[in-house]
Amino acid sequence: MQELSQLYNGDGSPTERSMIFEDETFSLPELPPSMDDYQLCDLIGSGATGTVFRLVQKKEFAIKVVPWHPDSQREVAKHEYEVASLFSECEKTIHSIAYYEHNSNSFILQEIGVPIIDYFFKHTCTMRALLHAVLDISDALCFIHSKGYTHFDVKPGNILIVKGSARLGDFSHCLHYVQGQEYERAIGTSSFRAPEVMSGGKHSGLEDLYSLGITMYVLLMAGVLPFEEKKDPDSCDKGQKQIRSLFIHPDLLSVIQKATAYNPADRYQTFEAFSKDLRSFMNAYDESLDEKVPNYLSPDWGETTIPAFENATAARFDLS
């Protein structure tokens, strides 16, 4: 993580070191006057809708800055804050604390956490800790769905660790959909998007469950995506293929396979059922859950494909 003093010259112009997130340059935002007692510290990261900074006022916070270009982004930011507020009673979601507007920007003050990728794969990670994190997110999604909403963007990048537990954040895509309602557009991140969303089908209510299954696979495989990406993001080679892996225990893989079934009717029908089977696996193999999860991180984390992973790990596993 770079200090802001390393990213900008004295006159506020960006230094070369500011080109660190997807080759984009980010300008230092001016905080609203009501936030004068906050200190802007680090640039945390960026997404499709905004940029996130670390902020300090006695304790640390995160603040998401959403520029109003196009103008519709203002409504997106308001929506994200309002929807997140509906989930404030849930201990497994990132809580939004306040919303501000200033200089054609929206500011969403939030809890701060450590990205799950950094927390687990740049430090020691056990299978037990990783699976508990998946259960935390399953609980979060169960709560969100109880309010009539679908998150639509479950992925490792939207999971943070706060006080030792995993929490789900970024509600910019979170929408209220009625079962059977047709999609007017694709929603979320293509690699984690359920097939019925990609094909312009009808809302099944199980899209987030599919995305959680893909997320679980990706975390277990240190960033490997289960399906090959093509030039067109929405043509991701999911088809009706079943996820396979030589590196995941067959009983655990069966949980992932059911969560990510191509046909929604073949998936778990509730998050409770998914969590029950995952806990059953954990109980059955309790003694082996404290083993470290293999760490095969590279600068291309999340972009590694299965053949590359297999080539890199063939010498470490018995593939016969």
Residues 255 and 176 in one domain: yes
Q: What is the predicted pLDDT for the residue at 198? A: 76
**Edge-to-edge, what's the strand order for the sheet holding 165-168?**
114-115, 159-162, 165-168
Global confidence as pTM: 0.82
129 pLDDT more than 50: yes
Summarised one tens digit per residue, pLDDT across range 232-263 is 445 455 555 788 888 889 999 999 999 999 99
Summarised one tens digit per residue, pLDDT across range 42-98 is 888 887 788 999 999 989 999 999 999 877 899 999 999 999 999 999 999 999 999
Strands (E), the chain: 39-46, 51-57, 59-67, 96-102, 105-110, 114-115, 159-162, 165-168
Summarised one tens digit per residue, pLDDT across range 93-120 is 999 999 999 999 999 999 999 999 888 7
Q: What is the predicted pLDDT for the residue at 25? A: 57
Considering 110, 128, 160, which residue would you say is the last residue of a domain?
A: 110
Tokens describing residue 229: 């990406």
Q: What is the predicted pLDDT for the residue at 262? A: 93
Summarised one tens digit per residue, pLDDT across range 276-291 is 999 999 999 998 888 7
Residues 137 and 268 in one domain: yes
Residue 130 lies in a domain: yes
Residues 125 and 97 in one domain: no
Q: What is the predicted pLDDT for the residue at 245? A: 82
Residues 129 and 103 in one domain: no
Residues 157 and 285 in one domain: yes
Residues 140 and 261 in one domain: yes
Residues 187 and 300 in one domain: yes
Helices (H), 155-206: 195-198
Q: What is the predicted pLDDT for the residue at 46? A: 82
Residues comprising the chain, all counted: 320
Mean pLDDT score across all residues of the chain:
81
Q: What is the predicted pLDDT for the residue at 238? A: 59
pLDDT band at 299 (very low <50, low <70, confident <90, very high): very low
Nearest C-alpha neighbor of 26 from the set 41, 40, 11, 8: 8
The residue segments making up the domain with residue 54 are: 4-110
Q: What is the predicted pLDDT for the residue at 161? A: 94
Q: Tell me, what CATH number does 60's domain have? A: 3.30.200.20
Residue 106 lies in a domain: yes
Decide which of 92 and 311 is more confident. 92
Residues 104 and 189 in one domain: no
Residues 127 and 217 in one domain: yes
Give the DSSP letter string of 270-319: SHHHHHHHHHHHHHHTGGGTTSBPP----TTTTT-BHHHHHHHHTTTS--
Considering 110, 144, 178, which residue would you say is the last residue of a domain?
A: 110
Residues 127 and 258 in one domain: yes
Residues 56 and 130 in one domain: no
Tokens describing residue 75: 């409504």
Interval 180-192 mean pLDDT: 86
DSSP state of 12: S
Considering 63, 88, 110, which residue would you say is the last residue of a domain?
A: 110
Percentage of residues in the chain having pLDDT higher than 70: 78
Decide which of 294 and 181 is more confident. 181
Q: How many domains does the chain have?
A: 2
Residue 318 lies in a domain: no
Residues 70 and 141 in one domain: no
